[in-house]
Every structure is written in C-alpha cells, then in structure tokens.
Amino acid sequence: MATSKEYIKNSYPLPAYNYRVEIGKDTIAFSEVSGLSIAYETTTYKESRTEGSDSGPVVMQMPAQPTPPTLTLKKGIIQGERLTYLYDWIKDVRLNLVEKKDIFVRLCDENGDAVISWKVTNAFPTKLDAPSFTADSNDASIESMELAAERVEIE
C-alpha cells in the first residue's frame, strides 16, 4: 500500500531542522537550540500513620518550585553579518543594564509556517563562548550563548 503525501504530512513527526528563533523583534538564524524544558523541583513529605496501620511514616513526593530554564543558542559566524548582536546584549550585563527579552522558537512545516512555538519569558544572557580555534581543523566557527529565563511555555 502506497503512503500518500497527505498521510505523511499529518502523521509523521516534523523534522527538527526547520525552525526559527525570534529574539525580541529580530529573527536570527541559530544552528542549535537546547534547554527548552519545563521542570519542577520536588519536596518530600513524611506523615505518621494512624493507629492500626502498618508501621513507619508515609512518604510522599510533591511538586515544589519551578526550575528556571537555561537556554543554549549556537550560531555560526558568517562574514558580512552583524557579528556583535550577541556580544552587544551580554555586555550590558556587566553594566547591570541587562535587557530581558522574550524569545520564540518556532518549529515550522515544509512551507515555513510555524506549527508549534515555545515562548521563553524574560530571558537574559549569562555566558557567551567564542568558537574554539584549532589550526588543524576545518570545522565551522560556532559561538554559543547561555540564557537564564523565568519560564518556557508552549503556544
């Protein structure tokens, strides 16, 4: 039985390479995005058992505070592109003038239309890594930025 194009479109997972990243009003091409996670710390509660039941406390795991996400963005350095975008953002942290921005990571279909979006709220840079330089390598020059944020939501 042949599989139709419509069946594949509606039932196969979208490829992870077709996405775009929007920081504030800018759309920037990144080669990798990671850290889009929603997590909670847990707290352990112990209760005494009532009379007539098994001995020992009842141990329960309960959700506690949300764990703030740490987002990692990696991008290649391209000649002719505005090379200092990420640096301009992180250098303000040194002056305690950090600008928190909302970031959208949008997974797109084959037409480039967003199918699902992750919204990272109030993100700000905490680390910027320059590419590794090696004379005997022909790897692409990739810079990496880590961001702290309040939360991740799916829209």
pLDDT attached to residue 80: 73
**CA pair distance 30, 114, nearest whole angstrom:** 16
Q: Rounded to an integer, what is the distance from CA 106 to the centroid of its chain?
A: 11
- In tens, the pLDDT along 28-70 reads 889 999 999 999 999 998 887 766 666 677 888 999 999 999 9
Q: What pLDDT, on the 0 to 100 scale, is given for residue 54?
A: 66
Of 74, 82, 84, 88, which is closest to residue 32 (Cα–Cα)?
Answer: 74
Block residue for tokens 């921005």: 101
- Distance between CA atoms of 15 and 73, rounded to whole angstroms? 18
Name residues of the chain where pLDDT drops below 70.
1-2, 50-55, 81-83
What is the CATH superfamily name and number for domain 5-39+68-154? Hcp1-like (2.30.110.20)
Helices (H), the chain: 5-11, 85-94
Q: What is the pLDDT of residue 11?
A: 77
Listed residue (99, 100, 102, 101) closest to 155, CA to CA: 102
Q: Can you point out the beta strands (E) in 16-137?
A: 19-23, 26-28, 32-34, 39-47, 58-67, 70-76, 101-108, 114-129
